[in-house]
Amino acid sequence: MSEAPETLEGWWIWHDFRRVDLDVWDRLGAGGREAALQSLGARIRAFEAKNARRESSFGLYQLAGHKADLLFMHLRPSLADLVALKAELLPEPFFRIHPPVYSYISVVELSRYVAHGNPDPATNPALRERLYPSLPETTYVCFYPMSKRRQGDDNWYMLPREERVRMMRGHGGIGHQYHERVTQIISGSQGLDDWEWGVTLYADDAIDFKKLVYEMRFDEASARFAEFGPFYVGRRIGFDSLSAWLLGSVTDAR
């Protein structure tokens, strides 16, 4: 049996994907819409205040395509915090109107295939920033879950450690070529959700997602071993723009 790599875990992540339901939104009437947005706005300001105190991270994104319309991304210290947050948000009018269409639970993970220096986040600020990240304020975001293949000769989990280290170095090498342009947050979801990792990427130029992921497909770690779930792409959106968009989308103002 080959040994599992040592991992470091940081904040827990809930990717909460929503569909905007314009039919229900229209029928709510101006008062209902205003109230829902005001209440959501207060929530988002509270999330941002927590971000500023470095107690959590929160990101809001408007997505392309029809798999989902919005992504609310929450990073919190524990799974209990994510459970509590969901319970707290369930009755929130905005979330009752605009239903969930996908969700992903994972925890920020750094594997120690590649040395990250001193492994104590208390005394290593660079490590702390990776485990408890402020979300990059780039224009674009990309999320997808993935697993490593377990099939015949292509079973990642049966490979000797040196082989995995060699391949992860190759992987990191490609990634590093995009260092200034694409930031990754890797989160592990073994035992937590339907795939083994969540990959969240940030970039100011969305074509870099395409170029990076394509290039990685030719690299052994991805070419032989990667299996992918659904991809979601979109852009960061502020609460004011979200409100303006949703109020502007009303077709039956009463």
Helical residues (DSSP H) of 21-160, grouped into ranges:
22-52, 79-89, 93-97, 125-131
Which token pair is 184? 């990754």
Q: Are 85 and 21 in contact (CB under 8 A)?
A: no
In the stretch 5-24, what mask flags binding to ligand 76R with x, by CB under 6 A?
x-------------------
Residue from 176, 218, 251, 253 that binds ligand 76R (CB under 6 A)? Answer: 176
Residue from 122, 125, 137, 179 that binds ligand 76R (CB under 6 A)? Answer: 179
Length of the chain: 254
Q: Are 59 and 75 in contact (CB under 8 A)?
A: no
Please give the Cα distance from 214 to 216 (Å, whole number).
5
* Count of residues of this chain found to bind ligand 76R when the rule CB under 6 A is applied: 24
Using CB under 6 A as the binding rule, the residues of this chain from 98 to 137 that contact ligand 76R are: 110-111, 113-114
Residue from 171, 185, 232, 242 that binds ligand 76R (CB under 6 A)? Answer: 171
- For the question of residue 144 being annotated catalytic, the response is yes
Q: Is 213 in the site for ligand 76R (CB under 6 A)?
A: yes
Please give the Cα distance from 20 to 242 (Å, whole number).
11
102 half-sphere exposure, CB direction, 13 A CA radius: 19
Q: Are 92 and 18 in contact (CB under 8 A)?
A: no
Please give the Cα distance from 169 to 78 (Å, whole number).
30
Residue from 197, 232, 233, 234 that binds ligand 76R (CB under 6 A)? Answer: 197
Among residues 61, 104, 140, 144, which one is catalytic? Answer: 144
Using CB under 6 A as the binding rule, the residues of this chain from 24 to 83 that contact ligand 76R are: none
By three-state DSSP, how is residue 234 classified?
Answer: strand
Of 31-39, 51-59, 195-203, 239-247, the segment contacting ligand 76R by CB under 6 A is 195-203
Can you give the binding site for ligand 76R, defined by CB under 6 A? Answer: 5, 110-111, 113-114, 146, 168, 171-172, 175-176, 178-179, 182, 184, 186, 197, 199, 201, 212-213, 216, 222, 226
